[in-house]
Structure 1
Amino acid sequence: MPAGVEGGRPPREIDVAVTVMAMTQQAATSGGAGPRARRRDGVVGVATEHADLAASPFRVDRDRISGSPFFARLGGVTQVVSAAGSGLLHNRLTHSLKVAQVARAIAERLGAEPGPRALAEKLGGCDADVVEAAALAHDLGHPPFGHLGERVLDRIARHRYGLADGFEGNAQTFRILTTTDVRGPSAIGLDLTAAVRAAVLKYPWLRLHHPAPHPSRLPVPPRGAAEPDDAPGTGSSKFSAYCTELDDLEQARGPFAGRVERWQQTVEASVMDTADDIAYAIHDLQDFHRIGVLQHASVAAEFGRWAADMAELSAMDTDKLAEGRRRPGYSLERLRRRLRAKDSWIVDDEAFIQAVHRVRAELVDELLAWPFDGSIEAEQALASFSARWTARLVGGVLLTASPTTRSGHVTLRSAQWHEVQVLKFVHRRFVLLRPDLALHQRGQASLLGRLVDALDAWLVDRDEASRLPRRLHDLVELAHDEYAALAATAPELLVGATGEPVEGADAVHALARGRAVVDFVASLTDKQAVSLLDALSGRAAQPWSESFVL
C-alpha cells in the first residue's frame, strides 16, 4: 500500500510525457468489470433498464452527467465574473468541457506507456471514460456567482442553520450526483459507478468526522484538509462530502481500499484535479485579455521589477514586504515565499525564476503586449497561446507511486508545476483583487443573503406552506429523512456548527430546512437567483415561473 510521506520527501516519478497517444488504451485497462463498475442502486455493468445508449458503464455515467439539468445550468453560472451578455467569457459549463478535454488527454497519455499503465492499474485503475465523466461533473455543485456564492452559502449554512459541514462546492457536487438528481432507479442520485463517484472526490474526506484519524491531523495535511486560518475549529477548508453522503463516499471508495490511502485521491480523481488546474491557469487569462481587463502595463511592471530586484526583494523583511504589497515586484516575491512555506517538497528557486521568465516572455511580452481588438490576427495569437501552453502542461504530467501528502498520484514536473503557480498568480493578482470586481461581488453576496431570508420566511409561513415551490418542498422532505436517519443510526455525525450534539425532532427539522434551502439556492443560475429575488421582493412586473425552479 502506498504510504503518505513527509512533506519534504521528493516523490518517485515516472515521466509520461510521451509523444504518441494510445487511442486503444481503454481495452487494456480495467474496462467495465468488477467492483469499480458497481452502481449504488443497480448492479455491475447493467444499465439498459434506464434506456442508456452506451455499452460501457463508464460511458453511461458520462452520458447521465452531460444529460443532467444540473449540468445544463452551468451555462448560466459564473466562472470568475458573470458571463451574462457576453460571449467572450467562460462560464462553468465551458470550463467543465475544457477540463474534460484536458483530463481525457492526460488519461490517454497514462495509458500509452506500459510503465505508467501498470502503475495506474496497481493503484486502482485509470480509465479515460471515468476521467472524462468526473471532469464533466466536477463543478456541478457550484452555486450562483461561483466561489463568492460558495463562501456566502457556507457562512449562512453554519451560522444561520447550525449545519456543521456548512456548504462546499465539491461536497455539493457529490450530493447532486448521489442524492438530489433523480436519474437512478430510486430517484435519488444518478446511480453512477463506484469509479466515477470516487473520481469526483477531489478531497475524499468529510469536514470533521471521516476518515479517522482525520487528514487535517497529519504532520503535513493534504491540500485543503487543514482548517482555515481565520476559522479555527470549523474543520477542513475543503472537503468532498457532507455527513449525509458518508455511506456513499465509503461505498465508492471501497474498490480502492489497500491501493491508495483513505485520504488520497484515486488516480482518476488526481487526473481530473490536475486537468482543472491546467484549464484554470490558461483559459481565465484568455477571457480577461479578450475583454481588456488584463493590462500589459501593470503585469509587465510586476514581472520586470521582480526580475530586476530579486536579490533585494528576497532579503526584505516580511513585514515591510507586506506593507508594500501594491508596489510592483512585491506580490511575486510574496508568492515565492508562500510556495516555499507550503510546498517545500517541490519548490525550487531556480525553477521559480525560470517559470517567471517563461511566463513573462510568452504572456506578458508577447500576448499582452498587443491589445485584443477582435481581429483574426488577435484571435490567432490567443489560440496559439492556449494550444502551446496546454500542450506544454499536459506534456509535463507525471505519475507518482508514493506522493507527498501535498500532492496526488498525478502531478506535474517541477518546471510546469512552477509555471502553473505563476500563471494562476497573474489571474489572482490582476483580476480577482481588482476593486471593481470586489464591488460587484459585494452586491452579489448581499443578494444571496436576502434570497435565503425570503425563502426561509416562506418555509415557516404556515399560511403559505402549501404553496411552496414543489422542488423546495421535495428537498425539505428529502433532507428531513436524511437527518432523521442520522439521528437514529449515527448521532455522532449530527452536531451543530459549534460542536454541540443535535437532539430532538425540532432540531433535526431545523437542520433539514437549512440544508434544503441551501440545496435550492445552490441549484440556481446567476440569472435565476436575481429574478427569483425580484419576484419574492415584489419587484417583478409579472408572475414568474420556471419549471426547474418552481
Structure 2
Amino acid sequence: MGYTDADLERWAPEPDKRPGRTAFQRDRARVLHSAALRRLAGKTQVVTPGVDGEGEVGGTPASEGVAGGGGRTVTFADATPRTRLTHSLECAQVGRELGAALGCDPDLVEAACLAHDLGHPPFGHNGEQVLDELAAPCGGFEGNAQSLRLLTRLEPKRFTADGRPVGLNLTRAALDAATKYPWPRSGHPAGPDAAKFGVYPDDLPVFTWVREGVPAPRTCFEAQVMDWSDDVAYSVHDVEDGLHAGHLDPAMLLAGPERAEVLGVAAGRYAPGTAAAELADALDRLLAQEWWPHGYDGTAAAQARLKDATSQLIGRFCLAAEGATRAAYGTGPLSRYAAELIVPRAARLECAVLKAVADRFVIQRPDQARLRADQRVVLAELAEALTAGAPEGLDPQFRALHAAAADDAGRLRAVVDQIAALTDAAARRLHARLTG
C-alpha cells in the first residue's frame, strides 16, 4: 500500500511478540488498550458527560426534565450526550471506512482516529484554554501537542534499556497520521498568531524523528482522512445530541432570527470569509433532503428517522471526499505523501453549518456558560494548589517527572500533565480535596 520500512520504524526498536500481525495492527491495539483512551469516557465532548460533580447531566439538574427548544420534555434517560471516548470511537469507524476506500491501511487510519483526542484535558476546549494560560511559562498547552506527548512519553507502555519512557512507541507512520498540526507553536504556515500546534519544545526530538524527510508543513494523507472524519463525526453527532436533549427544534432553522444567528456563527467561526448567501445555500441543501429530521419529537419513530439522517449525512460527506479525491488521483491506493484529500467546498460548508447549529443551540446555552465559568475557576484553583504543594498531590508518575525536572518550567509542565490526565469528575474531586 505504499508504506516503506521507514514508515514502520519505532522510536525505540522492539521485536514483535506475536508474528502475523502487521505493525499498524499493533499500533491500533496499543491505542485501543491505553489508559488514556479509557479516560476519555469521563471527558467533555460538548456538554458534561454523565452526572458530574455538580449533580448535573449536560449542565441540567439530573432530577428535572428540560423544556427544550421545541418545548419537548426530556427525561434523565434521554440525557446521554457523547463523551470524548464515544466521539473517538465514532471518528475511528468513519475514518477506517473512508481510509480503506481510498487505499490507506485501515488499521493505521483507525489508530490515528482513536488517538487524535487523547491529549484533551478535563472540561473540553474550555479546559484547554485555561491550561494554555496557566502553562504559558513552559510553552503553553494544546490538546494536539498533548496527544503527541502522551503517545511518545506519558502513556506507560514502553521504556528504553536506560529507563527512558517512549509512551506507546508507535510506528513513525502512526504518529505522523495522528498529527493534525505538524509544527511547534508560532510555526503555523498561516502565521505566528495561529493558535493550533502539535508539539511542545521538549518533545521536538521525537517529533523531528517522526517528520524525517517530510516536506514541512504538510500533513500526511492518513492525517487528512482522520481530520475530515473528525469534522464529520462531531458536526453530525453534536446536532444529533442537541436534538435528543431537546435543545434544538429543526423548525428553528427555518425561522428568521435563529437562522440568521446560525449563519453568523458559521461565518465567524467555521467558514471565515464565506458570504452569508453561500452558507444559506448550504443549510438549505440539507433542509431540502427528504431524510432531514423535520418535526423531531423524541418518539421511537422520530429517533429512527434521526439515526437515518445521521447515517445519510456521514455518507454524504465521506462520499463527497472520496469522489473528489478519486477524480483527481485515480483508482489506485493512496497513502502518506502521494496525495491530498480533496473535500469539495459544498461539503465543507454544509459541515460548517452543522457545527454552527450545535454551537448556537447547545454550546451557547446560558446554563453552559455558567458551567464553563465554574470549570475555569476549578482548574485555576487546582493548578494553584498543585503547584504550591508539589510534589504532594501529584500521582506517582507525575511526582517523578516533577522531581526529575531541571527547572521551574519542567516542574510546571509536570503539574499541567497531571491536570490534563484527569477526567472531569476527577478534577472536581481533587480540587475539593486540595482546596477544602
Q: Which TM class, normalised by the smaller chain length? A: 0.7 to 0.9
CA contact (8 A) 2:98 2:318 kept: yes
**What does residue 336 of structure 2 align with?**
none
Aligned residues with identical type, % of pairs: 35
Could you say which residue in structure 2 is the equivalent of 1:392?
316
Distance 1:449 1:349 in 2: 38
Note the C-alpha offset of 1:466.
Answer: 6.8
Identify the residue that residue 375 of structure 2 maps to in structure 1: 444
Q: Would the aligned equivalents of 2:263 and 2:280 in 1 still touch at CA under 8 Å?
A: no
The answer to whether the 8 Å contact 1:282/1:389 transfers is yes
1:517 alignment partner, one of 415, 421, 432: 415
**Cα RMSD for the two superposed structures:** 2.5
**Residue 11 of structure 2 is aligned to residue 37 of structure 1:** no
Give the match for residue 8 of structure 1.
none
Alignment TM-score, normalising by the size of structure 2 = 0.83
Matched, 1:89 2:81: yes
2:240 pairs with 1:286: yes
Following the alignment from structure 1 to structure 2, what is the Cα–Cα distance between the partners of residues 284 and 338? 16
Say yes or no: does 1:169 pair with 2:96: no
Distance 1:275 1:128 in 2: 13
SS of the equivalent of 1:190 reads coil
Q: How many residues are paired up?
A: 393
Q: Which amino acid aligns with 2:90?
A: K
Q: Find the aligned partners of 2:426 and 2:392 in 1 and give their Cα distance.
A: 22
1:140/1:330 CA distance change after superposition, 3 Å: closer
The SS at the match of 2:243 is: helix
CA contact (8 A) 2:188 2:196 kept: no
Larger radius of gyration: 1
Partner of 2:282: 355
Deviation at 1:352, TM superposition (A): 3.8
Provide the rounded CA distance (Å) in 2 between the counterparts of 1:334 and 1:78.
21
Indicate how the Cα distance of structure 1 residues 53 and 96 shifts in structure 2: closer, same or farther if over 3 A, else same.
farther
Q: What amino acid sits opposite 1:199 in the alignment?
A: A
Q: How much has 1:79 moved relative to structure 2?
A: 0.2
2-structure distance, mates of 1:134, 1:451: 31
Note if contact 2:120-2:143 (Cα within 8 Å) is conserved in structure 1: yes
Give deviations 1:426-459, integer Å, cap 9, x for gaps: 1122222222211111001111111111111211
Structure 2 equivalent of residue 433 of structure 1: 364
Runs of 5+ consecutive residues of structure 2 not aligned to the other structure: 52-56, 58-78, 330-338
Q: How does 1:471-490 map to 2 (within 5 A)?
A: 471-477=397-403, 480=405, 484=406
Deviations 1:504-533 (A, max 9, x none): xxxxx2101110000000000011111111
2: distance between equivalents of 1:534 and 1:39? Answer: 41
- Structure 2 letter corresponding to 1:174: L
Closer, same or farther in 2 for the Cα pair 1:433/1:240, shift >3 Å?
Answer: same
Q: CA deviation at 1:275?
A: 0.4
Q: Secondary structure of 2:342's match? A: strand
Cα distance in 1 for residues equivalent to 2:192 and 2:308: 39
1:282-431 aligned at under 5 Å gives the runs 282-301=236-255, 305=256, 329=260, 331-332=262-263, 335-336=266-267, 342=273, 352-362=279-289, 366-372=292-298, 375-397=299-321, 398-399=324-325, 409-431=340-362
Partner of 2:170: 192
Task: Map 1:197-276; keep pairs closer than 5 Å.
Answer: 197-208=175-186, 214-216=187-189, 221=190, 226-227=192-193, 236-254=194-212, 256-257=213-214, 261-276=215-230
- Per the alignment, residue 47 of structure 1 pairs with 16
Q: Specify the alignment match of 1:70 in structure 2.
A: 36
- 1:179 matched to 2:137: no
Partner of 1:103: 95
Shift in Å at residue 54 of structure 1?
6.3
SS in 2 for 1:192: coil
Looking at structure 1, the residues matched to 268 and 128 of structure 2 have their Cα atoms a distance apart, in angstroms, of 28
- CA distance, structure 2, for counterparts of residue 54 and residue 60 of structure 1: 10
Task: Tell whether the 8 Å contact from 2:265 to 2:356 is kept in structure 1 after alignment.
Answer: no
Distance 1:453 1:246 in 2: 28
Instruction: Report the Cα distance in structure 2 between the residues aligned to 1:37 and 1:335, rounded to whole angstroms.
Output: 40
Equivalent position of 2:120 in the other structure = 142
Q: 2:69 is matched with which residue?
A: none
Inter-CA distance 530–253: structure 2 relative to 1 (3 Å threshold): same
TM-score by length of 1: 0.67
Does the 8 Å contact 1:299/1:430 carry over to 2?
A: no
Q: Secondary structure at the match of 1:367?
A: coil
Gaps of 5+ in 1: 1-28, 112-125, 209-213, 228-235, 306-325, 402-407, 460-464, 485-508, 539-550
The answer (yes or no) to whether the contact 2:119–2:420 under 8 Å persists in 1 is yes
Q: Distance in 2 between matches of 1:248 and 1:100?
A: 25
Q: Which amino acid aligns with 2:196?
A: K
